[in-house]
Chain A
Amino acid sequence: MIKRIIARLDIKNNFLVKGMHLEGLRILGYPELFAKKYFDENIDEIVFQDIVASLYKRNQLSSLTNKITKNIFTPITVGGGIRNINDIKEILINGADRVSINTAAVNDKKFINDSVRVFGSSTITITVETLKIGEKYKVYTDSGRTDTNLDTFEWIKEIQDMGVGEIILTSINNEGTGKGFDLNLYEKASKLCKIPLLAHGGTRDSEDVYKLFVNTDIDGAVIASAFHFNYYKELLNKKEISLQGSTNFLINQSSKNMFFLGIDKLKKYLKSKNINIR
Chain B
Amino acid sequence: MIKKPLAGIIDISINNILSIKRALEYVGFDVVIINEYRNIEEFDLIVLPGVGAFHEAMKKLKNTKLIKSIEQALEKNKNFLAICLGMQLLFEESEEFGLTRGISFFEGKVESFKKYNVEKKTFIGWNKVNFQTKNKLIKNPSIENDLSNSAFYFVHSYFAKCKNKDIEVGISLNGKLNFPSIIKKNKVVAFQFHPEKSGKSGLLLLKNILITS
Contact = CB atoms under 8 A, between A and B. Distances in A.
B23 interface: yes
A7 B18 CA distance: 21
Contacts of A122: 122, 124, 155
Interface residues of B, number: 31
Q: How large is the interface on A (under 10, 10 to 19, 20 to 34, 35 or more residues)?
A: 20 to 34
B124 A165 contact: yes
A12 interface: no
B5 interface: no
Given A39-B199, A73-B23, A75-B153, A96 B125 contact: no
A95 B52 contact: no
B35 to A, nearest CB: 12
A264 B124 CA distance: 23
Contacts of A97: 15-16, 19, 155, 197
Main DSSP-derived SS at the B contact region: mixed
Interface string B172-211: 0000000000000000000000101111101100000000
Nearest to A74: B199
Interface in A179-201: 195-196
Contacts, number: 83
Given A119-B15, A196-B125, A73 B120 contact: no
A92 B18 CA distance: 9
A73 B122 contact: no
A73 B199 contact: yes
Contacts of B150: 278
B15 A92 contact: yes
A2 B151 contact: yes
Contact of A1 (B22, B119, B197): B119
B126 interface: yes
A219 interface: yes
A196 to B, nearest CB: 6
A95 B194 CA distance: 14
Given A42-B200, A74-B153, A75-B197, A89 B14 contact: yes
Given A74-B199, A92-B14, 4 more contacts: A73-B200, A93-B16, A96-B16, A122-B122
7 contacts: A2-B125, A4-B126, A69-B18, A73-B23, A74-B198, A121-B122, A196-B124
